Amino acid sequence: MKLWGSRFTSVESKLMEDFNSSLGIDKILYEQDIKGSIAHVQMLSKCGILSKEEEHLLIKSLKEIQEEIENENLIIEGNYEDIHSFIETKLVGILGDTGKKLHTARSRNDQVAVDMKLYAKLKVKESIYDLEQLINVLKELGEKNEDVIMPGYTHLQRAQVVTFKYHLLAYVSMFERDIKRLENAIKIFNESPLGCCALAGTTYSIDRKFTAKKLGFSGCVDNFLDGVSDRDYLIEIVSAFSIIMIHLSRLCEELILWNSNEFDFIEISDMFATGSSIMPQKKNPDAAELIRGKTGRVYGSLISLLTIMKALPLAYNKDMQEDKEPFFDSVKTVQSSLKIMAEMLKSLEINKNKMKKAVKTGFLNATEVVDYLVLKGMPFREAHGLVGSVVLYCEEKNKTIEELKLNELNQFSDLFDKSIYDYIKYENSLKKGIKKEMK
Ligand code: ARG
């Protein structure tokens, strides 16, 4: 059953067989593996290495195998080393000697490299789509709540007034950068490794450009040794995924805080919450907490990949088989997190009044009072100090700045006149600042 059995005199230990097999993990590559094989067969035939008849039989049988897998008539299991051995063995089972010709001018090293690149490209494109969907939801939620104002925070202390929409648009900017990072990753890795063979190419006159084009790559890798042992692109993608998870986890953290009784700015729908087995009143924001927690898994995958690749001599080493689990797991985690986040946001309830009330307390217009004094000629640092004293006075009197009488303000400076009240209205400072930016 081994593709390489003849060189060996004793059978592989059962322990080793199980330890070595990656079939349970890499079976999800069956589609890419068959696609790569079909392109390879077409190329071999075009170059006169296989006959037209052999090309026809091999492609037909490879497609049949794919269909059988998809209809669940063929289950990917058994003591095969990996998906490549599984499919080749099935092919030989159908075609006999013709099936044995598939692997001419190819190694599993370039085969797995091309499969992984095809899979990675597909999954990156899907993730870009998920990001675009989430961006649309964030934009729609902002549009729907155009008039909602809330405190903006630094150090989790109320700082200045912002609009809810503007706060959401900060995440739109983050996710837009994530899309660029992923698009750029594809640009860099979009070169076909097929034809590198084990590490040093082949003595056959093959046409690497042909397979590259058939498989949708922009060209071929330059160097065979690098082509079979490059896993940079997986690291780059999972690093971009890790940054996506940073962004999602920051948003999750805010949703969790805002959903708490202490903030009470939003209500997360029952659809994305769970209850407590002991405390009947509880409704916990589990979806957001899980995304926040799963961020750790994706970072873990990144560290795994970095460590697997560290100090590996050229070219292929079996260590590289370990790239699959972390990569596949991070794809699944990122994609499900993006989808859940979008759905959770769609069903979010916004407590406008609570947000507005929070704006009123916390001296969110103190910076505008400073600006007012500066416009009237006071040096900034002096104005800053003066308004600090005004805030202290307000705290003692339990008043907001706009509630102070003009004569109270004039105790601090003669520069205050009644125009101050309009100047520090929240709506006006938004118009002069954020809203001007938003267009
Ligand atoms: N299952 C292997 C992997 O994923 C395929 C390549 C095996 N190549 C080899 N020379 N043993 O890395």
Report the alpha-carbon distance of residue 256 to residue 238 in Å, rounded.
Answer: 26
85 close to ligand 1 (CB < 6 Angstrom)? no
Structure tokens at 372: 């007012």
Pair (77, 128) in one structural domain: no
Pair (297, 161) in one structural domain: yes
- Say which of 51, 218, 276, 389 is annotated catalytic: 276
Domain that includes residue 371, residue range: 360-437
Which are the contacts of 111, defined by CB distance < 8 A and separation ≥ 6? Answer: 33, 36, 37, 84, 194
**From atom 4 of ligand 1, which residue's Cα is the shortest distance away?**
321
Total number of domains in the chain: 3
**From atom 3 of ligand 1, which residue's Cα is the shortest distance away?**
321
Pair (423, 410) in one structural domain: yes
Question: Which of 299, 286, 290, 287 has the alpha carbon at shortest distance from 246?
Answer: 299
**Tell me, what CATH number does 322's domain have?**
1.20.200.10
Pair (98, 113) in one structural domain: no
For position 431, what pLDDT does the model report?
Answer: 87
Distance 107 CA to ligand 1 centre (A): 9
22 close to ligand 1 (CB < 6 Angstrom)? yes
114 close to ligand 1 (CB < 6 Angstrom)? no
Domain boundary among 104, 121, 151: 104
Walk along the chain (439 residues) and give the pLDDT tens digit of each residue: 677 777 788 887 999 999 999 999 999 999 999 999 999 999 999 999 999 999 999 999 999 999 999 999 999 999 999 999 999 999 999 999 999 999 999 999 999 999 999 999 999 999 999 999 999 999 999 999 999 999 999 999 999 999 999 999 999 999 999 999 999 999 999 999 999 999 999 999 999 999 999 999 999 999 999 999 999 999 999 999 999 999 999 999 999 999 999 999 999 998 888 877 777 777 789 999 999 999 999 999 999 999 999 999 999 999 999 999 999 999 999 999 999 999 999 999 999 999 999 998 889 999 999 999 999 999 999 999 999 999 999 999 999 999 999 999 999 999 999 999 999 999 888 888 877 777 6
Please indicate whether residue 40 is annotated as part of the active site: no
Distance 427 CA to ligand 1 centre (A): 63
Pair (396, 333) in one structural domain: no
Distance 108 CA to ligand 1 centre (A): 6
Pair (248, 308) in one structural domain: yes
106 close to ligand 1 (CB < 6 Angstrom)? no
Distance 120 CA to ligand 1 centre (A): 17
Report the alpha-carbon distance of residue 398 to residue 241 in Å, rounded.
Answer: 48
Within a domain: residue 3? no
Point out the ligand 1 atom lying closest to the alpha carbon of residue 316: 10
Tens-digit pLDDT profile for residues 123-181 = 999 999 999 999 999 999 999 999 999 999 999 999 999 999 999 999 999 999 999 99
Question: Which of 63, 58, 57, 82 has the alpha carbon at shortest distance from 4?
Answer: 82
Which are the contacts of 159, defined by CB distance < 8 A and separation ≥ 6? Answer: 151, 152, 153, 364
Please indicate whether residue 155 is annotated as part of the active site: yes
Within a domain: residue 249? yes
Distance 109 CA to ligand 1 centre (A): 6
Structure tokens at 226: 């690098």
pTM of structure: 0.94
Pair (250, 210) in one structural domain: yes
